[in-house]
Amino acid sequence: MHISLLIRLQTDELVSWATFDRKGRIINSAIGVPLNKVPTDNYQPVVLIPSTDILLTEANVPSTNRQKIIQAVPYALEEQLIDDVENLHFVMGKPLLGNIPVAVIAKTSMENYLQRLQVAGFKPIALQPDVLAVPHLNDSWTLMYLDDIVLVRTGLYAGFAIEVDSINVVLPMAIAENPPTQITVINHTDLTNLPTLGIPIQIAEDNILAGISHNALNLLQGTYSPKNKSWLRPWLLTIALCLIWGGLYVTEQIIDYRHLTQQRQFLNQQITTTYQEAFPEARRIVNPRVQMEQKLTELRKQQQVNEVFLTTLTIMTSVFKTIPDLTIKRIDFRNKQFDLQLTVKNFSALEKLQTSLNKLNLTVKVKSATSQNQLVASRLQILIMQ
């Protein structure tokens, strides 16, 4: 984890800070300055808070369900706590050897730290106990002297802070309970007053950044998690479902469109084939559906014309039979009008024919009538009335 700005809160007024390059080398730093003197430059700092305000411990909860663990841990540690669990903030790390590392801090302390940082214009990406920034080696303890405090890191998620004046009392008790294989002392060379009970001691120089890792306990969890874009989080599932549904809907529409296009092409081909079979004389086919409808309309009209022709001709035939020696030479029919060329015995027969046809709701006009070879040749125009 790259840290560009590290701030360690010392007292209610003063802090220490350092900026680092990509390789972890210090660029600028200061010790014991007001928080408002720390450069911001759009940094999102890692902030170390005094471990004297924090209890680092372990809990054993027989469950792998994280939600149940979060609910159970406060009450599993209740006997170790002075304050009520409702007033405390609990942060859990990854289980180690069946135990769950836990950091406990008063909610009022968390809120005070965050308010100080907010007033100074900082939005930290992590808030960690300063003891967990001390370098750690397996089975070894590391002591780092900072001001009048000694930070003692005893494990990956374990450690404590004591005043320098109390080290002769507290350290031997801690060593006796869980003795390390070695003790490494950082930033301190006077070991005269360091009670180690025979434990090998190594002196080293390092900066506090060396112990920070992505596995460290970040107190910015739960209700104290960074609030950036938090308004969006409750809607993420809804948005995801809407996107999925929208994608499925669009995909379905595309599939339906392609299917309908294929159906239309198939039907057009069928109509073209049917049209060619029904009207083999057709040479130019542009829109077979429209052309088929036009032809069908023409056929219906022709059928109606044929029905009118046959019906009227049947009616006129009954009259023709009453006229002796009537011979029909030619019949034309167009626009509900008959043109007849015929011969009758005499003019009286022709007049009788005209009268009889007029009675059938037909309009009969004699266009011509001439006497030929003792017969009357005539051309009649017969109009069917609406």
| pLDDT at site 245 | 80
CA 186-190-196 angle, to 5 degrees, is: 75
| pLDDT at site 209 | 53
| pLDDT at site 239 | 76
| pLDDT at site 3 | 79
Q: How far apart are CA 122 and CA 54, in angstroms?
A: 22
Q: Which pLDDT tens digits describe the chain residue by residue (386 residues)?
A: 677 889 999 877 889 888 888 887 888 888 889 998 898 877 788 999 999 899 999 888 887 788 888 888 888 888 888 888 899 999 988 887 778 899 999 999 999 999 999 998 898 999 999 899 888 877 889 988 887 888 899 988 899 998 888 888 888 888 888 889 888 888 776 766 676 667 888 887 766 555 565 557 899 988 898 765 455 556 667 777 778 888 888 888 899 888 888 888 888 788 788 877 777 777 777 677 777 777 777 777 777 777 888 888 888 888 888 988 899 899 898 888 899 899 999 999 889 899 998 888 888 998 898 988 888 999 999 998 76
Q: Which pTM value belongs to this model?
A: 0.56
Which residues have C-beta within 8 Å of that of residue 37, sequence separation ≥ 6?
Answer: 30
| pLDDT at site 90 | 92
